Structure 1
Amino acid sequence: MSPPLSTTIKIDDSGMASPCQVLLSPNTDSRPANSDIDMIVIHNISLPPNQFGGPGIIALFTNQLDAKEHPYYETISHLKVSSHFLIRRQGELIQFVSCNQRAWHAGVSHWQGRERCNDFSIGIELEGSDDCAFNEVQYLTLQALIDALQNRYPIKHIVGHSEIAPGRKTDPGPFFDWQRIK
């Protein structure tokens, strides 16, 4: 379910967003003790690459990706990854991991002298790619989600995956408009 444009997203004490569709990922674990959640990492994803709206992203994050469905899936079906949130092209918000838990979205990463960004960050995937612009409704949902996260956690940094994994990752890509978020 997409949050209506006039709706405020809320994050409850258990780290779950509302309104939001919940599809829990098994690819999660506990954050280290005393880890303040102070960063949001913005990503892009499309599965198969540059194709939108299919079940591939959900299948990847829930360990149900069938390697036989697409040649690209053969190269990634073994991965155990997740993100806290996915914002679809039409603005639909899906949550895979409680914000209080560690999602497996950043991989080998570092920010301002700290390693393992998954320990202290929230991962938000935008359905998209490095090759096209994001939709207006995605920015609206993203901003509402950022506002909710900032109301719940001491967020100090909002960064792209490319900033915490330079040379390894390029997302959210050149079409992401950083001016659209506060």
Structure 2
Amino acid sequence: QPFVYAEGGHFLAEIVGDFAWTTQPQNFEGKHLVSKSGFVIDPQESLLLDKSHFDLSGRTCNKIGVSYYAFYHQIDRCGDYNGTCTSHQLNHWIPIEDSRRESGLSPQYRVTAFCDDSSMRVDTDPFLSCSMSQRQTTMLRIEVPVESFQFMRHIATGEILRVI
């Protein structure tokens, strides 16, 4: 457990543990961040789509990343209607979100559906940061000499800047 102490043992502080969050942080492990404009990323226009909508090998029809190989090796490629292997591409998802916006509905796949205050930056890779505004409660054990002791209760506010 992380702890600090002063020379001579006059002060000791130890983190006992964190209480559970009331709302769990978003988990984006099962999603891909996509944008129709390449590396110019705008949270209003970018989408977070489930990885199940992708096949980056290019061998599966109707998945983002489909290649000519998948189209060519369809069982009845000549008998099927036009576009049988190329549906559910990015140009399928973006109009769905545009029509939701025009109808006044909340977004379903846009970054703004997952993050209230989303901020994105671009280094070499796109980076998504979603802020969380809620209290995180941590229990501390503090030991101090009691010669001149005064008890005060404070709730500290802070901001987690980086998690390693």
What is the TM-score of this pair, normalised by structure 1? 0.22
Larger Rg: 2
What is the TM-score of this pair, normalised by structure 2? 0.23
